[in-house]
Structure formats: C-alpha cells, structure tokens
Amino acid sequence: MSKAKFITFEGVDGAGKSTHLAWFADALRQRGSDVVVTREPGGTPLGEQLREILLNQPMNIGTEALLMFAARLEHIEQVIKPALHSGKWVISDRFSDASFAYQGGGRGLDWDKLSQLEQWVHPDLQPDRTLFFDLPVEIARQRLRSSDNTRPNNTSLDRFEQEQADFFERVRAGYHKRVRQNPLRYMVIDAAQPINAIKQRLEEIILLF
Ligand code: TYD
C-alpha cells in the first residue's frame, strides 16, 4: 500500500458515515497500516471542549464558524500533522468541508469568508481523499429519528441535528458545491444503498490506495 494518507469522511447528519468510518479504519489496520481515527469538531482536549459548546450553546453564525476553525487549528497542529509526519494514516470524521456545508450552506455564511478562514488555518494542507456519503435528506432524517430512539438515556439531538429539513437540504447543496469545486479529491458514495453494498465500495476504494 502507498504512503500514509489524510482521509476525511463527510455527509449530512444521518448519512451513516461514522459507522462506515470505523469499519474503514479497521480494514486499513488489518492491512498493516498505522491509523489514527479522529473527529471534528474535537480531536484534542481543547477541541472537545469547543465541541461541547458548539453542539449545545446558541451563538452567532460567525462565532460558530470561528470556533469550528479554532478547534481545527488545534487539531491540525496537535494531531493531524504530527501523525502524518510519523507515517500514520489519519481518518477524520469531518473537516473543513463540513464548515462550508453547514455554516456556509446551512446557515448562509458568506462562502468567501470561509475560504479566507481555510486559507488562514490550513493553507498547505488538504485531505488526500474525501469520502462523501450522499443521500436524500428525507432518508437521513428518518435514520436520525430512529437512532435517537435507541440512544441511551434518551440523549436528545444536538443543536445541528434539531434543525429542519430545509437546513439539511442547504447543507447537502453546500457539499455538492464543494464537490464541484474540488472534483478530484472526492469520492461520492450513495449512502442510501444497503450497508453491504457500501462496504463493498469501501473495499474497492481501499484497493485504490
Ligand atoms: P457529527 O459529526 O454528526 O457527530 P455525531 O455523529 O457524534 O453526531 O456531529 C458534529 C456536528 O457538527 C454535525 O452536525 C455537523 C457540525 N459541524 C459543523 O457545523 N461545522 C463543522 O465545521 C464541523 C466539523 C461540524
């Protein structure tokens, strides 16, 4: 297999990316790769504190974007770059595409402002590949509702998950815009397929690496 890569997983809430990410990381490990699994917002002690605030505390849209990128800067410097430099694969559950999709698409924050933040925070780093799990918003919302019923202690949905269908339509459109802007980086996976079909596709993707 080729040298260690930085891979990100993206999709609207309910697309199932976290399940697929765990499976994908295990499959890479079984092939002998050293893999760091991480997530955004989060991935560092400070980032996880910011995640808690971002997912639960109402705030201005600009503040939301700035805190996402603040958590990301810590994540890049403390986790992502050191791991890549020591030859480890990094698989992140979300990265900057989520800021464009959620804060840009979903909340309507100016796309250029997000591009400026991206240029500031990681001018020299982009994922080698991004696996985008795409599916109609209505299916994603059904999955989210059924997973909420099975969460322990009736854990309620977070601030983003509580948004309405039109918000997620804009998030999805935001992701599609990013895919059009960087077509070579993305692998778009039809997340409405049965889980075994998705696993097979992930197997094929791993072989490409
Ligand atoms: P998510 O990755 O879906 O975690 P879980 O599967 O544990 O719910 O939750 C993170 C939320 O944060 C998700 O709703 C998208 C949102 N988010 C943004 O709005 N902007 C960002 O830049 C990132 C990284 C996440």
β partners of residue 187: 131
Neighbours of 121 (CB within 10 A): 18
Least confident of 4-8, 15-19, 131-135, 184-188: 15-19
From atom 1 of ligand 1, which residue's Cα is the shortest distance away?
A: 13
Q: How far is the CA of 1 from the centre of ligand 1 (A)?
A: 30
Cα dihedral across residues 113, 39, 84, 127: positive or negative:
negative
Phi, psi of 92 (to 5 degrees): -110, 130
| CA-based radius of gyration for the chain | 16
| Residue 107 near ligand 1, beta carbon < 6 Å | no
Query: Cα 167 to chain center, whole Å?
Result: 17
Does ligand 1 come within 6 angstroms of the Cβ of 94? Answer: yes
- Whether the pLDDT of residue 206 is over 70: the answer is yes
CB count, 10 Å around CB of 162? 11
Confidence of residue 103 (pLDDT cuts 50, 70, 90): very high
Whose CA is closest to atom 23 on ligand 1? Answer: 98
pLDDT of residue 150: 67
Candidate from 94, 132, 143, 168 with most ligand 1 atoms within 8 A of CB, to mutate: 94
| Average pLDDT over every residue of 107-130 | 98
- Closest by CA to 20, choosing from 207, 209, 196, 204, is 196
Contact 97 CB / ligand 1 (< 6 Å): no
Q: What is the pLDDT of residue 3?
A: 86
For 55-69, the pLDDT digits (tens) are 999 999 999 999 999
pLDDT computed for residue 147 by the predictor: 79
Burial class (CB in 10 A: 0-12, 13-18, 19+), 155: exposed
Asked if pLDDT for residue 152 goes beyond 70, the answer is: no
Instruction: Tell me the pTM.
Output: 0.95
What does the alpha-carbon distance between residue 97 and residue 126 come to, in Å, rounded to a whole number?
Answer: 10
- The response to whether residue 17 sits with its C-beta less than 6 Å from ligand 1 reads no
Q: Please report the pLDDT score of residue 1 as a whole number.
A: 60
Q: Measure 83 CA to ligand 1 centroid, in angstroms.
A: 22
pLDDT for 23-58, tens place per residue? 999 999 999 999 999 999 999 999 999 999 999 999
Name the average pLDDT for the chain: 95
